[in-house]
Amino acid sequence: MKQSIFTKMIFGAIMALSLGMTACAKKDGSSVRVAGRGGAVNANSAPSDSASCNNSVAGTGQLNASSNAVLALVSATISPQSFGTICRTNFSAALKFDSSGNIVSSGSTVFIQIVDSWVGQSTTEGKTIKPYEIQFSNASSGVYNRSSGGFQAVFADQYGSFAITGTVSGATASGTVLFNNKVAVAGYSPVPGTNDWATLGSFSIPTSALMK
């Protein structure tokens, strides 16, 4: 993905700002993590039978994400041992920008759904395991260069930050989702570390589905 020097400079400034905002973020209705996992899933309550991936749960698009990246992401709120085989990472987002190319916070959302091989099964306690979901309903910062097609959007909460960066080319919007965890559950360390970003995965979706 090619970006102009100007676009990269703006993105760097946005990232720096978002990292500062995350440190003082408060828990509110703008973000949800670990929604609907179906209660605690751990080594003692996990399904006893090994399961394979299925296609019963799907989103509007998917991230090309590695299992290691996904498990690093979830370690901010839940132990990676609470998952079976990572099957896929569903992704959808709606980004809204004003006439100057600045993001409209309240009109921008992102939804990430992690589906593993245990989804749909029951724990030893009889609870149905659901996908792990992350949803943001307000962006922290962002910019869209309509001339080059380059865009960036940052979402932040008390656990860390997400950044969506990419390019619009005709009917297709493609790019990358990055993350920065500020906290981690016991036994793990925040990923990737202070003032740095890790790649969750890449995407390619219809422009009409992303730009609002």
Residue/partner pairs of 20-23 with CB below 8 Å, 24 or more apart? 21/140, 21/141, 21/156, 22/140, 22/156, 22/157, 22/158, 22/160, 22/161, 22/180, 22/182, 23/182
pLDDT in tens, 101-149: 999 999 899 999 999 988 888 877 788 888 999 999 999 999 999 999 9
Tell me, what's the pLDDT at 9?
45
Cis peptide before 190 (omega within 30 of 0): no
The helix/strand/coil state of 43 is coil
pLDDT in tens, 182-195: 999 999 999 886 66
Tell me, what's the pLDDT at 107?
84
In the chain, how long is the greatest CA-to-CA distance? 55
Low-confidence ranges of the chain (pLDDT < 70): 1-30, 34-51, 54-60, 193-195
Tell me, what's the pLDDT at 147?
96
The DSSP annotation for 93-143 comes to EEB-B-TTSBB-GGG-EEEEEEEETTTT-B-TTSPBP--EEEEESS-SEEE
* Residue 55, C-beta contacts closer than 8 angstroms, at least 6 positions apart: none
Classify residue 6 by its DSSP letter.
H
For the whole model, what pTM was predicted? 0.79
Look-up: residue for tokens 């400079």?
A: 9
Tell me, what's the pLDDT at 105?
94
What residues are paired with 210 via a beta bridge? Answer: none
* Residue 147, C-beta contacts closer than 8 angstroms, at least 6 positions apart: none
